[in-house]
Amino acid sequence: MQLLPITPPESSGNERARRLDYIFRARPTKYLGTTIARYVEVLIYQAVLETAASFFSAQMVAMRNATDNANDLVESLSLTYNKVRQANITNQVTEIASAAEAMAAQRR
């Protein structure tokens, strides 16, 4: 973005407004000097604020992605844990049923 020299805005179809001369009660250099300095200061400050906002936005996106990935990992690990637990319970029930069957066969 070009800060200096300041160029007049593009014409919006109203050429008369673009050619207006302003009347200053004091020397125009007095007003323009402070106004231009303040204008440049505000533009630089705006750039600094936009940089900070971009940084925080990127940081929020990164943290959201990290949170989503962690939640996906927890979900996947919980599913794996539950499958292994279910397999162990099934094995234990099968062993108990086999033992009961064996004991019933011995009594006959």
| 10 within some domain | no
End-to-end CA gap in the chain: 97
Q: Which residues of the chain have pLDDT under 70?
A: 3-4, 6, 8-9, 11-24, 26, 28
Question: Quick check: is 67 in a domain?
Answer: yes
What does pLDDT average to over the chain?
86
Domain for residue 99, yes or no? yes
107 falls within a domain: yes
| Domain-embedded: residue 76 | yes
In Å, how far are 11, 12, 16, 40, 95 from 2, measured between CA atoms? 18, 21, 26, 10, 81
Say how many domains are in the chain: 1
What span, in angstroms and rounded, lies between the C-alpha atoms of 95 and 86? 14
pLDDT at 69: 98
Q: What is the pLDDT of residue 80?
A: 97
Q: Which tokens in the block code for residue 19?
A: 């050619």
Alpha-carbon distance 85 to 74, whole Å? 16
- Any domain includes 56: no
Q: 102 lies in which domain range?
A: 63-108
pLDDT at residue number 108: 76
pTM (predicted TM-score): 0.54
